[in-house]
Chain A
């Protein structure tokens, strides 16, 4: 069988459409995962037992369930009931799953900050809410960035699971095209290259952020 790399060029606009959906899923699941993850991390360290336990319970459950199962829940149960589109339900499911991991990443970052920092803030009569925002979180970011970005790469790639609820993101469109053109090697190679390109962007952003948040010495 001959190579036909021309197929990639002829279907490229469709591959880009799939990539766009992949990015939409990535963006909204990251957004939801990060906001919810931050809330869960702060709850996990709250002085209120109920908050700590709820957070622990959430993390325990959502890390224990396969993403695909969460996605089916989001699509068939939540999505159906609330009349969500498949992309909305998909973002929801992926975001809820990511939140559990991001919560732990943020918590580890916060705990890595020298306790002397909160003690100094307390001694200066600052409220916890204030010094968390102004003293602890900014310093934890430096520690959070590498693990968070590495997790982002996972979040990006796991969007391909959304194929299972009928979202034609990059993996989905590639499969359809390969079915209709019988050129799976060329098309999946193109998809792989696109995924690697996207993860490279994440790695570059990580570099920039690490430099941006480095301590001035």
Chain B
């Protein structure tokens, strides 16, 4: 079977500013791929090109066998028709850095709005499903709360539930923990980790290296609009080949890449790599149910 996401030669310019300069990667079904890289390198733009929030200026994107966009022989772009775009978007859930919940609707209504209007679900079914999803992200008791009454961590979990309510085949996460207090990141990462374990295909832009190490199958390192390095998560994170990757990991981890002390012992690389991630793993392990949600 084809990869769920196929991105080939993806380019995107804003005016004269070429932000993506030919990006190629695939995401297999059930795979979790993390995109890491410095700020401004084009990570968000990649995600937004997949569901056409941004219109690529070159290359080809395919999701679940459907062509999102493709470059024709003469260099012009052909995009999916309006109706097809919506069908593709039904398959692709997206979670934003700044949540983008609908502030005038309760958590429950945030989740049911799209299933009701896009998938024609009945109110009863949509509500029942939304309550299940809220339970699954540890917020069953917050169904009637408005977004501004929730913490950042809670809002982001509602946003994840909202995307999941459309039963997407693919979830896009764009630095979903960067706008929340660090102590609340764990409850979001926990939900994402569980989602990954349930087999969801995920493309995750993140600065949470421990999460990438723990959950991602593969990691793409992107810098200045090109994929500089990609591979198995443990390889990229523990034994980066490219100096730019190394410098970046050094900066975000505030130390050498995760396997700093044992480049020689390839066999022990796995242990060492994940040993490194233990530094952060208590955040990942925070149980949302046990979190500060009762207020």
Contact = CB atoms under 8 A, between A and B. Distances in A.
Contacts of A139: 102-104
A215 B146 contact: yes
Contacts of A135: 102, 113
Interface in A95-126: 114, 116-117, 119-126
B93 to A, nearest CB: 8
Interface in A195-217: 215-217
Interface string B84-118: 00110110111010101111100000000110011
Given A124-B89, A124-B163, A119 B117 contact: no
A134 B113 contact: yes
B118 A138 contact: no
9 contacts: A114-B100, A120-B96, A122-B89, A125-B87, A125-B166, A126-B114, A126-B118, A127-B86, A215-B104
A130 interface: yes
B148 A217 contact: yes
A123 B172 CA distance: 10
Contact of A123 (B51, B103, B113): B51
A117 B148 contact: no
Contacts of A120: 94, 96, 100-102, 159
A121 B93 CA distance: 11
Interface string B23-56: 0000000000000000000000000000101000
Given A123-B51, A125-B89, A139-B104, A130 B146 contact: no
A127 B86 CA distance: 8
Given A119-B96, A135-B102, A125 B146 contact: no
B86 A117 contact: no
Q: Which 10 A-B pairs have the closest CB atoms?
A: A120-B100, A124-B114, A125-B89, A216-B146, A116-B100, A123-B94, A217-B148, A125-B86, A125-B90, A125-B118
B162 interface: yes
Contacts of A125: 86-87, 89-90, 114, 118, 166
A119 B104 contact: no
A116 B95 CA distance: 11
Contacts of A217: 146, 148-149
B117 A130 contact: yes
B79 to A, nearest CB: 14
Nearest to B114: A124
Contact of A117 (B51, B102, B146): B102
A122 B166 contact: no
Contacts of B53: 119, 122-123
Contacts of A130: 117
Contact of B148 (A114, A126, A216): A216
Nearest to A116: B100
Contacts of A116: 96, 98, 100
A189 to B, nearest CB: 44
B220 to A, nearest CB: 21
Nearest to A114: B100
A107 B162 CA distance: 28
A114 to B, nearest CB: 7
A114 B148 CA distance: 15
A130 B166 CA distance: 16
Contacts of B92: 123
Given A124-B162, A134-B117, A215-B146, 14 more contacts: A117-B102, A119-B96, A120-B100, A123-B51, A123-B163, A124-B163, A125-B90, A125-B118, A127-B86, A127-B117, A135-B113, A215-B104, A215-B148, A217-B146
Contact of B166 (A117, A124, A138): A124
Contacts of A138: 104
Contacts of B98: 116
A152 B133 CA distance: 45
Nearest to A119: B53
A122 B114 CA distance: 10
A137 to B, nearest CB: 10
A119 B51 CA distance: 10
Interface in B1-15: none
